[in-house]
Amino acid sequence: QVQLVESGGGLVQPGDSLRLSCAASAASGRIFHQYVMGWFRQAPGKEREFVARIRRVGDQFLTYYADLAGGRFTISGDHAQNTVSLEMNSLQPEDTAVYYCAAGLASGSSWRTYEYWGQGTQVTVSS
């Protein structure tokens, strides 16, 4: 069982930056040893879409981004703290969505790949 809690959402203006965090906990205490961590987002009336994912391989983190990230988003992980962050720069109104942290045993870009989900954090980009 994995619990995920997101934080860091809010209302920002176009061009601003925002950093989302996800605190993960598991019975084993070893999130990155077992799980791939991902960020997804869902705008009203739209399907949940993949943003980025990260997994630990040896002593390194491997990352993968959706095209929508466009070099603006950076995912990072802290093995000691069991946290995953998403740094978002140059935010635009089309980035407005609920952002979800997810954990899964397999690596993939489909939301169906991930077994555990946080409650989501709202990001609104508006002038």
pLDDT in tens, 17-54: 999 999 999 877 788 888 999 999 999 999 999 999 99
C-alpha–C-alpha distance, residues 65 and 127, integer Å: 27
* pLDDT > 70 in the chain, percent: 100
**Highest averaged pLDDT of the listed ranges 24-28, 59-63, 99-103:** 99-103
- Range of weakest confidence among 4-18, 19-33, 84-98: 19-33
Question: How confident is the model at residue 32, as a pLDDT?
Answer: 87
| For range 91-113, the mean pLDDT | 95
